[in-house]
Amino acid sequence: MTSSSTNNYAKVLNSLKHRASDLETFTTYAPEQRFITAHVGDENLSFSVADEDGSIFAMALGNDPVILPCDRLSTTLNVKVDLTKYVHRVNWDFYSIDTDSFSSGKQAEICTDESEITELLKGHARKSSVWPGNDEVILWGGKRIDGQLVSVGALVKWRTGQVMFASIATHSDYRGRGLAQELVTEMLTSVAAQGISHVGLGVFALNVSAKRAYEKVGFTLVNEFSSYGLIT
């Protein structure tokens, strides 16, 4: 399958205008100001971006995409990757949702006590990707029981301009009660009121309970990925 190479961001957008999943992945993970290059084929898409630290991140989508030179790589599942050059890190899934059906309903409690949020994350979600004080955070939402913060999540605006959920966590003593599902629903209502029309999230592939909760809220699967790091 042939593909064409381009470093023109607008040309990539035009090539993907009838490929909703690939277009959403590209616009979410490839900021225009850091875009390097892309290979676009009828059934494949590869692109790379320069990170702030000087490293290169690339994605490769489809059955037989080009693997661009990079330090970190994410591919759709079952893409062949040279494991003498890259080590597999984790599998993860990309979901998204429109917020127009959340125009009414209960809005989330907005949490502003950074120490309270940090305490919950440190105690029950140490691997969270976003923490209080991070510049990209739009808001933190939370759920309480008897005044105690037991579930929390962040909405962040990425460098691409896309809005994403991050660091959704529930106190281990209160899991299995649907709190995260309630929180995400309420946070979607909050951002819908702010005029934000679309939100995404990434979740570890093995976190089945979280994925089912998000699907019950109405999130749809955009794509499934494997992530790799360059062996140095």
pLDDT in tens, 9-49: 999 999 999 999 999 999 999 999 999 999 999 999 999 99
Euclidean distance between CA atoms 134 and 96, whole angstroms = 22
Are both 67 and 108 inside the same structural domain? no
Tens digit of each residue's pLDDT (9 = 90 or more) over 95-117: 999 999 998 899 999 999 999 99
Are both 102 and 76 inside the same structural domain? no
Are both 133 and 44 inside the same structural domain? no
> Tokens 């489809």, residue?
62
Q: Are 136 and 157 in contact (CB under 8 A)?
A: yes
Are both 102 and 191 inside the same structural domain? yes
Residue 89 located in a structural domain: no
User: What pLDDT sits at residue 3?
Assistant: 73
> Tokens 């934000």, residue?
196
At 200, which CATH number?
Answer: 3.40.630.30
Q: What's the domain count of the chain? A: 2
Q: Are 171 and 151 in contact (CB under 8 A)?
A: yes
Q: What is the mean pLDDT of each run of 10 residues along the chain (232 residues)?
A: 86 97 98 98 97 97 96 97 97 98 94 97 95 96 98 96 96 95 97 96 94 96 98 94
Mention every residue, 6+ apart, whose C-beta is less than 8 A from residue 135: none
Residue 175 identity: R
State which residues form the domain around 50: 3-80
